[in-house]
Amino acid sequence: MIRCFPSRFKTPCNLILVFLIATLSRAIFIFPTLGADASSKTKIGASWNPVQSDQWVATDDLGRSLPTYEEVGATRPNKFVACFYFLWLGRHGEAGPYNISEIIKEHPEAKDDPNSPYWGKMYDPHHWGESIFGYYVGEDESVLRKHAQMLGDAGVDVICFDVTNQLTYPESYRPLFKVFSEMQKAGNKVPKVAFLCPFWAPNKVVRELWREVYSQGFYSDVWFEWKGKPLILADPDYLDQTQPLNTNGCVPIKIEGKSILSQTFSVNAPFRNVQLSSPTWNAEGCSVNFRLRDQSGKVVESHRNVAIRDNLVYTFAFKKPLAAGTYTVELSKAGGTDVGWWSKPADGEYEQAANSVLPTQGVRWLSATNNGKPINSVFLMGVGLYDEELENILNFFTFRPSQPDYFIGPTKPNQWSWLEAYPQHEFRNDKGEIEEMGVGVAQNAVDGKLSVLSNPKAYGRSFHNGKEPAPEDCDYSGKNFQEQWERALNVDPEIIFVTGWNEWIAGRFDINAPFYAATPVSFVDQFNEEFSRDCEPMKGGHGDNYYYQLISNIRRFKGVSQPETTKSAAIAIDGSFTDWQKVKPRFYDSIDDPVHRDCRGWGADQRYVNATGRNDFIEARVSFDKDNLYFYVKTKNDVQGDFSSQNWITLLLDTDETPQTGANGNNYIVQANPDEKRFELFATANKEGQTSIDASFKAVPVDCQLVGSELEMKVPIAALHLNRKKFAFRFKWADGIDVLGEWSGFTTDGDCAPNDRYYYRYVAP
């Protein structure tokens, strides 16, 4: 078996460049019986997930509404979405936080001055902006709970942790595993997890994850499986390399005519493969013949006419491990024009010199020849040693190596993209099927090369049609993101990998950094609002627009579940709730998601505390007759608070389904009047961007009954100006949230049903 690996890079500097970029860059719970369904118990757990968030409706600040079942059709069960996720917040020093966007806004001259006092130290992490959750750190369980909910609501199936910089961040993944498992066991749909490991040297990270996570069964209920096994994004053939193949200090030796290049070595343990790298001087259509002889001269492995590409690393794998001993690799040209083998000079006594220039544990380099004549060079070669732990690892996972480059596309089957420039390539499995494609918000690329996002010619959020617009033309509508989504939707792979969710930071470099088109003050993977690639909502700026753009395209890719037919019933506001039993549909919400936050933030003195979470909505229903609408809501536990409680239970109604009218799109709200100790219907107003209660509307008392964890109320249809015969409207419940305040409060505070900016939609039959 021959496997090849990406390395379009001709020089050690380029190899360092990409490495640095990577561096910086099941239980069931029984709920109490519902009063509305006294005939049966509701089981909530990993196998019970009635929350159909794909049916929820929302409109972002740009006026873009999420597609519905009628627009995109039924769900497609064999489609999956992965999202790049970052564990490193708070793990690389906490000086600052330094907000690049704010620094440049207040001190524009700092952009070109690496000595500006407003920057942190060289290599210190700097934020491109501030998350809606503030400058949080990786162990903040309140934020992790929101991530589980938000990504699950969006339809993301797996989050892939960036551990490409040789660190696994257990301080971050341990609380995340715990929170995601808790949310799942409560009955929520949350993403599973996987790790994206170093591109060329994954051995340390994969073995560490094996020892600390997978072999221990650590929260195995949250592992993502692909093709029947846990997924790990790593190249299996790099796991047994005695050392990474690096062309630093190497020279190419060309295979002339029918000559043979050979390398003799001894190995002190059984080995599984041999890896080597051949230059072709950019020539296409080249191939080699590979032979491995034992000490007696017998050919024990051979591969003929193996197609190669310039400077890719090829692995020649054996059917079974070969015993320790002395062997000779022979390489000859099979086809093409120029073919060679990278070598390192070994001056002086060969064995001593060769082992000093290519020190490899367990391997001794004995001799090298060019067409039978000894040469004082050691050919660049890796030997994959056999060990029992590695065999367990190889048998346990489904491996998918990641292609680090944004432009060259796949170089082998089963490879996945994590980020590419448009138009993205198709990544196929070993059956030839289109399995995966990448979709990115932005790319640190300039002139068709990997670069820095601090370069104004980089591929920012507004990049499209092959061009980055002028700053004044950047509108943050996600043109780059959408262009990539359109490409992926047209190809229709099995899984789409999105970059990314919550990277937020980048280390600071200067113009001498080994990156193409570096700037005086260089940031590689993130820079500012335009030149950044996170979908997690930000504070200010584009807000949550990219989150809803992500959701919109996931629905177009995966489809939407079919809404249940509406069924009404006669309701008496009497607190018994049994008359709600036949009412359909049932609108469900996430469980265990009210906000309770108390965690350190980024920096020495920052701490985030939020105790607005009070009542946990889990289900809602609507019924009607010729005169009234009836609303039912249930909380996980008995309702806390009363009419005098701040921001107590509120029903929000968007009766004209026009987000531009009313307070935050809500034409009416049903809210507690603490003076009268009752619920009342109020109209809202939005004048010059200021939301408020409409003083010209006379409040309408609302008949209501609250018993334990269940609440029902009656609202006159006439007061809502709805057509009594045929109507549709949006609604949601909120508690602990200032419903007349900023939309961000529906994400950061209390609890609402449905979550965040979403609404339920009710359509009369």
Higher pLDDT, 40 or 58: 58
**pLDDT score at 38:** 40
pLDDT in tens, 73-102: 999 999 999 999 999 999 998 899 999 999
Q: Which of 106, 87, 102, 130 is nearest to 606 (CA)?
A: 130
DSSP letter for each residue of 656-708: S--TTSSBTTBSEEEEEETTTTEEEEEEEEEETTEEEE-TTSPPEEEEEEEET
pLDDT value at 12 more than 60 = no
Tell me which residue has tokens 């860059």: 25
Higher pLDDT, 31 or 260: 260
Give whole-number Cα distances, 79 to 64, 161, 196, 250, 436, in Å.
Answer: 24, 20, 20, 45, 10
**pLDDT score at 716:** 95
Tokens of 362: 């367990």
Average pLDDT of the residues in 441-454? 96
Q: Which helix (H) or strand (E) holds 12?
A: helix 12-24
| Most confident range, picked from 34-38, 90-94, 207-211, 720-724 | 207-211
Q: How confident is the model at residue 547 (pLDDT cuts 50, 70, 90)?
A: very high
- Return the number of other C-beta atoms located less than 10 Å from residue 27's C-beta: 11
User: CB–CB of 523/504 below 8 Å?
Assistant: no
**SS3 assignment, position 105:** helix
Q: Which of 605, 758, 755, 748 is nearest to 134 (CA)?
A: 748
Q: Which of 634, 592, 644, 588 is nearest to 613 (CA)?
A: 592
**pLDDT score at 20:** 40
**pLDDT score at 42:** 37
Cα 434 to Cα 164: distance, rounded to the nearest angstrom: 25
pLDDT value at 41 more than 50 = no
DSSP letter for each residue of 262-295: EEEEEESS-EEEEEEE---TT-SSEEEEEEEEET
Burial class (CB in 10 A: 0-12, 13-18, 19+), 85: buried
Domain 251-386 has CATH 3.40.640.10: no
- Return the number of other C-beta atoms located less than 10 Å from residue 310's C-beta: 18
Tell me which residue has tokens 């609604």: 731
> Could you give the angle at the alpha carbon of 171 between the alpha carbons of 45 and 756, nearest 5°?
50
Q: Which of 383, 345, 341 is nearest to 362 (CA)?
A: 383
User: CB–CB of 458/467 below 8 Å?
Assistant: no
Tokens of 188: 């929520």
> How is the chain split into domains, by residue range?
80-238+392-558, 251-386, 578-763
pLDDT value at 36 more than 90 = no
Give whole-number Cα distances, 691 to 113, 685, 739, in Å.
Answer: 43, 6, 9
Cα 409 to Cα 391: distance, rounded to the nearest angstrom: 29
Q: How confident is the model at residue 43 (pLDDT cuts 50, 70, 90)?
A: very low
- Return the number of other C-beta atoms located less than 10 Å from residue 318's C-beta: 17
- Return the number of other C-beta atoms located less than 10 Å from residue 701's C-beta: 12
**pLDDT score at 660:** 86
% of the chain beyond a pLDDT of 70:
93
- Return the number of other C-beta atoms located less than 10 Å from residue 673's C-beta: 14
Average pLDDT of the residues in 556-564? 96
Tokens of 199: 């591109």
Provide the mean pLDDT of the chain: 91
- Cross-strand bridge partners of residue 700: 681
What lies within 8 Å, CB to CB, of 395 at 6+ separation is none
Q: Of 152-156, 714-718, 720-724, which gets the smallest average pLDDT?
A: 720-724
Average pLDDT of the residues in 689-705? 90
Tokens of 615: 């009542």
pLDDT value at 24 more than 60 = no
What lies within 8 Å, CB to CB, of 707 at 6+ separation is 35, 575, 577
Is residue 520 reached through a cis peptide bond, with omega within 30 degrees of 0 on the bond before it?
A: no
* CA-based torsion, 237, 239, 245, 246: positive or negative: positive
Average pLDDT of the residues in 243-270? 91
pLDDT in tens, 294-353: 999 999 999 999 998 888 888 898 988 999 999 999 999 999 999 999 999 998 899 999
Tell me which residue has tokens 């692995």: 315
Cα 624 to Cα 725: distance, rounded to the nearest angstrom: 11
The topology under which CATH files domain 80-238+392-558 is: TIM Barrel (3.20.20)
% of the chain beyond a pLDDT of 90:
82
Is residue 423 reached through a cis peptide bond, with omega within 30 degrees of 0 on the bond before it?
A: yes
**pLDDT score at 315:** 87
**pLDDT score at 49:** 54
Q: Which of 278, 230, 273, 257 is nearest to 399 (CA)?
A: 230
- What is the 3-class SS of 341-399, one letter each residue? EEEEECCCCHHHHHHHHCCCCCEEEEEEEECCEECCEEECEEEEECCHHHHHHHHHCEE
User: CB–CB of 68/96 below 8 Å?
Assistant: no
